Structure 1
Amino acid sequence: MAPTTRLVAKRYARPLGGRREVLENMSTSQTPSPIFAIRTIPGRGRGLFALIDIAQGTRIATEAPFFTLPNIDSLNVLEVSILRRLEGLSSTQQQQFHALYNNFVGQEPPLVGIVRTNVLGINPQIDAIFPTFSFINHSCVPNAYYSGNEDVRLGSLYAIADISAGDEITIKYGDHARGHTGFQCNCQLCISSLGNRIHSDIQRDRIKVLEAQIEHRVEIQHEACLEDLREMKELLLEVYHNCPGTSLAWVYFTASQVAASQSDLARASVFAERAYRARRVCEGEDHPYVKCYKMVRDDLSLRKDYRSTDFRETGFDKVPKHLGLEEFEDWLWTWE
């Protein structure tokens, strides 16, 4: 991980529940990949680079961690607990761990600093340290998405955009804010013109406002909520160059809830299908969240507040078949 661009990276989707047990050491290997390579970046450390063209939705890699530990935000990380986990690794794995970047030199004990610098979430309760994924750098407009899968106890990396051979593979740390509080971001957006950065900051701030507003309105102000969701969708597509990751899936998933609560099964079915497809691009067919989205797509009655009113009742057969793209979007997001 680039030494000037790496801090704690807590990244997981909105939780739908998860096991709380602490997973212990897992076997892992670093066999050469035909898809990517770890390369030195002058002045920035190391990063992952594509060796071939990678299509959107491709699973770039799946990796077992060196070890796992309870969510580091919920406890004090002690060196003794890390040492105990290191004892279960081979000498080669221990060397790989000690070679990881430490962004907290002089602030934390060395082992604790390495963990805090390179941690990724398996689920909201369990964190992990990975041998290869620790080298994935941040971008405010990422082309990949890291996902922890507690069902198989592995981490996976998916292309959320088409990636060309030679491109760096990047993910986004944290929320929608541009840059990061712990380091100087050198992604293409952050080194672009001041005007571009200001415009992006305004849009990202608006996304966060909309997200909070939607969560407040979702059960009580359905029409206004749908308008907010449409605005958030359009902002996400612009800010993230049409590849916004799981945030777009959340927008569609929430829209399906709003429509289903009004018995508008036509719109709810379209939103649910889009939510499933957007989530699958980021996490693959076997991820528990994707399975959940698929279940809802196939059975809208699983939605919260399903048909709580028939005020805007439509059937599945009422989805328009012959509208143009813009006309269809207007129909989808607008209640007459």
Structure 2
Amino acid sequence: MVSSAGVCWTLADDFAQWWAEGEVVTGKEKGVGSVGSVTPISPESTAAVAPTPGPMEQVTCPSLVEEASHAAVTAQTSGSSRDSGSPLFSIRPSPKGGMGAFALSDIAESTVIMKELALFLATDGKGHLAEELEKLSVEERTEFSKLACYELLDRDRDTAIFKTNRFRTGSSSGIFLVASRFNHSCNPVIRYSYDYSNRQLIFSTKRDVKEGEELTIMYTPNSQYLSMDYGFLCDCGVCDPPLKVPVYYDRWADKVPHETDDW
């Protein structure tokens, strides 16, 4: 049996190289484009009533350091307060390895933190996947190739990346560049659902969240599938029995919402 350590490359290692080479950039630095639209929800807008969708911010390259938002870049680099429209989380290296999403402020229960459009939707057929990949720009294709890849899922690397990062959207599956950076927990902080009418993946909090806390989702309710299908074992403390091994946090699962489309 091949261990996960033997087949996994870590985004933490690649991140250091990308940063040194100036490849880690934000939507602000790259300019406006057409990849993975994200609607960040501000703390102010969620204080009293359920948030309504704001203007969709088009981003070319969602950053591996912060969520793709001009306000996020300002807040992170200058220490200024988060103004209206700022995201509630950032994407940065996780203490346990790889990348993760972390709260930028205290977040109340049932707060919508993100609505994201897919980079593309495809069925499991390799032919359809190839067609969708052909439609991507060079820059979009590069962002797709940077996603985690559990190589034992398929000999074809593109197919393995797709299977590692896909979220089910009914009869097809979608690749969501920002959502793919969220790590797994058997006791997740975030629930998600798919809005079929607007074709958006919606993330919201299951409980109150403290500033700096990592925002996790559940890849699968059966922790045994994590090692069998996605190359890591869970050490979240909720598993029965707990698995006392390191977790590889860059393995995104074949995430399938329940019949209610809400986890």
Same fold (TM over 0.5): yes
Higher helix share: 1
State how far apart, in whole Å, the 1-side matches of 2:35 and 2:143 are: 15
Aligned partner (choices 108, 111, 121) of residue 168 of structure 2: 121
Q: Residue 35 of structure 2 contacts residue 140 of structure 2 at CA under 8 Å; is this kept in 1?
A: no
Q: Tell me the alpha carbon deviations over residues 118-139 of structure 1, each in whole angstroms, 9 at most, x when there is no partner.
A: 010122x121011100111110
1:44 partnered with 2:97: yes
1:54 partnered with 2:107: yes
Q: Tell me the alpha carbon deviations over residues 57-103 of structure 1, each in whole angstroms, 9 at most, x when there is no partner.
A: 11110001110012x3xxxx31x432321232233222111100001
The aligned residue for residue 150 of structure 1 is: 196
Gaps of 5+ in 1: 6-24, 191-196, 202-245, 251-278, 284-336
Residues 177 and 109 of structure 1: is their aligned pair in 2 closer, same or farther, counting only changes over 3 Å?
closer
| Bigger relative contact order, structure 1 or 2 (CA pairs below 8 A, ≥6 apart) | 2
Deviating runs (4+, > 6 A) in structure 1? none
Q: Show the 5 A alignment for 1:127-276.
A: 127-175=173-221, 177=223, 180-182=226-228, 183-189=232-238, 197-198=240-241
Higher Cα Rg, which structure: 1
> Please, what is the CA RMSD of the aligned residues?
3.2
State how far apart, in whole Å, the 2-side matches of 1:179 and 1:53 are: 32
Q: Residue 62 of structure 1 contacts residue 157 of structure 1 at CA under 8 Å; is this kept in 2?
A: yes
State how far apart, in whole Å, the 2-side matches of 1:4 and 1:185 are: 18
Q: Tell me the alpha carbon deviations over residues 23-78 of structure 1, each in whole angstroms, 9 at most, x when there is no partner.
A: xx9863333252111111245211111111111111110001110012x3xxxx31
**Alignment-mate amino acid for residue 234 of structure 2:** C
State how far apart, in whole Å, the 2-side matches of 1:138 and 1:184 are: 10
Helix, strand or coil at the partner of 2:215: strand
Q: Residue 4 of structure 1 contacts residue 45 of structure 1 at CA under 8 Å; is this kept in 2?
A: no
Aligned partner (choices 101, 108, 128) of residue 81 of structure 1: 128
State how far apart, in whole Å, the 2-side matches of 1:167 and 1:27 are: 24
Higher strand share: 2
> What is the aligned residue count?
173
Q: Show the 5 A alignment for 1:284-299.
A: none
Gaps of 5+ in 2: 1-7, 11-33, 38-58, 63-67, 73-86, 244-256
